[in-house]
Amino acid sequence: MRTVKELRLAGLFAYLAALVVGLLLSLLLHALLGGGGRLGWEGFNFYGLLEGLFFLFAFTFTLYLAQQAVRVPCATLLTAGLIAPRPAYRLAKPLPKVEALEAYEGRGVALLVQEGRPVALLGLSDGVLPLEEVPGVEAEVAVSELLPLFFRRPLVLVYRGEEVVGAIPREALDRPGLGLK
């Protein structure tokens, strides 16, 4: 699971790599055409237009390949890492804590705590579920990295060290603006 910082760096490096490849291929075409292309420098000609279109094609195709290679959300890639998905702790909703199984009222999901340590999750369809069976991530993990974890369970726990910060339900990822695509 990658953090927001790692996704920003991956987006920046992929963008810069695509820019360099586009510029180098455009320079190669410029050299192959005898250096006659001018696109806005001293005028405008057909070779310059051809070089500009070739740069756009090479840059766009390299961005596409980079996105496939590093699996970075589109907004992060296109802004060179300036826009990144939210960290998991920002979406996590706190869970109510229950000291004993008898105290659980059956409304919603709750965290069973024994001797100050969380041990199980209550309120899912499985009844009492040990925390080892519930997928969990660190608080700084990017939300876009959570999608595969929802195939096993309807929620993901968010940890900060040993402490459970909260849980993210599957429905929370349906909101727009999370940077998942």
The domain locations on the chain are 4-78, 88-174
The 10s digit of each residue's pLDDT in 83-112 is 888 898 888 888 888 887 666 666 778 878
Greater confidence (16 vs 85) lies with: 16
pLDDT of residue 41: 60
- Residue 93's CB: how many other CB atoms inside 10 A? 14
Greater confidence (22 vs 181) lies with: 22
The 10s digit of each residue's pLDDT in 159-180 is 988 888 888 888 887 766 554 5
Cα distances (Å, whole numbers) of residue 165 to 85, 148, 149? 19, 20, 17
Please tell me the class of the 88-174 domain: alpha beta
Mean pLDDT across the chain, nearest whole number? 84
- pTM of the shown model: 0.76
Q: Which range has the worst mean pLDDT, 57-61, 98-102, 112-116, 118-122?
A: 98-102
pLDDT of residue 135: 84
Of 173, 118, 181, 109, which is closest to residue 146 (Cα–Cα)? 173
For residue 9, pLDDT beyond 90? yes
